[in-house]
Structure 1
């Protein structure tokens, strides 16, 4: 699943490519993906992109009054081209759920000719969760309206952080809750907790002062470094860049780059986490929890 750093990279890429471009055509090939009806998605056509915003894991194309908002979910991705096919898409005929085509920046749709660029929203697998919203204000999207503070903004103060840690909840699940902290998912919560040397099963409110200091610092450093790495990459490079930078997430059985101990995994019904026993749990191997409801 794309998380805050990859979505930040996509935002920067789309901002550079699309600001000033006019929306030439919007095609929705999976009506299940479209979560709104008013305004219609055709209302975007002919409007000029004035900016691209990120809200947690959501991206929003701002066309000065109408916003095209999307969330890539677990298996979604964005595919960009500067040579889009003029052929119309067929409903349900490919992994493409939506396509948005644009004129060149500075030219109007009425100038005629084929679209100069486009992006497709694609989704793999049978479980479809990718979501598109066409709204007048991004705050009309329920998932955006309910977001917690963004950890890379000035709003994420130490006071706000301490309020978050007052919860009687396992820290891994707390970090992943979008209503608590916006943008952190399974991968970066693993990386943050490893950097902070904290067990994923630690209860937030029981963390001591040193653990709190390390966790607050790790949130900023892990996400900040990942964003710095992601910004400037084209969409096709973001996934590999994310995987190559991970220290424990997705590296079960490999040596921890900090201490050399073996990275272990805890599996659940539909996800898994990775951690280093030596760095995070005083050498204790955590039990597998495939039947647990944790993190569902």
Structure 2
């Protein structure tokens, strides 16, 4: 699942690469991905790119004719080709929508899932997309404060991992970075926020900012087609079940609940108890 560090670098790449370019052609391959039927993708033909931005896990391509918001969902991404794409590698995810530009480059919105999770919306402002309008404060933003964190977390009778992934509470964090944050903070993923003492809350706040902003800094300069691999390689506990914890050497465990999983270290996070 794309999360804020990689999506931030993707948006920065698009802003730099596409500024001033004109949309020459569009193609909507998967009609279910278009969320604004009254504003077709074709309405962007002839428009000039003015910039790009990130909102949570969404990319906002800002054009003279409106905004193209790509909601990446669970398996979505954006692929860039400096020339019209040829034959793809066998494991390459299919493009659901494409934009071709006046310099010959092609932007492809892709989805690697078995069901369509990626969405594209043509709007006058990014805030018209319901999922963006509901986003909570973003820990990657320099304006993010302890007060923002406390409003989202303190006193809630809900598992802390679930709160970190709840986009209406804190935007941009998903399954992977919530595992990384809680491991660094030495907090159990299933602890309810209301049970955390002041020192634990301090650690979760500090690591939420540190992990997210540190990952953004670490990803800058990496080509966008390598960002997913770079994210995977950087994980300390997420996706590492069965491996040794890099802090204490205990074996990292996986805990399954609802429709998701958590990777954690019993010694570092749960007092030696396996979930």
Residues 1:220 and 2:212 aligned together: no
**Contact map agreement 2:44 2:65 (CA 8 A) in 1:** no
Aligned pairs, how many? 269
Q: Answer with 248-257 or 18-27: which moved more.
A: 18-27
Aligned-residue RMSD, C-alpha: 1.6
**Contact map agreement 2:28 2:98 (CA 8 A) in 1:** yes
3-state DSSP of counterpart to 2:272: coil
Partner of 2:121: 133
3-state DSSP of counterpart to 1:32: helix
Q: Answer with 66-75 or 277-286: which moved more.
A: 66-75
Q: CA deviation at 1:231?
A: 1.9
1:236 aligns with one of 222, 225, 246: 225
Partner of 1:89: none
CA distance in 1, matches of 2:204, 2:218: 21
Q: CA deviation at 1:273?
A: 1.1
Question: What's the TM-score, normalizing by structure 2?
Answer: 0.94
Structure number, greater radius of gyration: 1
Q: Trace 1:1-296 onto structure 2 (pairs within 5 A).
A: 1-85=1-85, 95-104=94-103, 116-164=104-152, 165-268=154-257, 270-286=259-275
Q: CA deviation at 1:37?
A: 2.0
CA distance in 2, matches of 1:272, 1:161: 23
**Contact map agreement 1:8 1:230 (CA 8 A) in 2:** no
Q: Label 1:269 to 1:173 Cα distance change in 2 as closer, same or farther (>3 A).
A: closer
**Contact map agreement 2:69 2:126 (CA 8 A) in 1:** yes
Question: What's the TM-score, normalizing by structure 1?
Answer: 0.87
3-state DSSP of counterpart to 2:49: coil
Q: CA deviation at 1:72?
A: 1.5
Moved over 6 A (4+): none
**Contact map agreement 1:38 1:135 (CA 8 A) in 2:** no
3-state DSSP of counterpart to 1:250: coil
Task: In structure 2, list runs of 5 or more residues that go unmatched.
Answer: 87-92
Q: Answer with 268-277 or 13-22: which moved more.
A: 268-277
Superposed CA deviations along residues 219-260 of structure 1, whole A, max 9, x for unmatched, are 111111110122221111101100010000000000000111
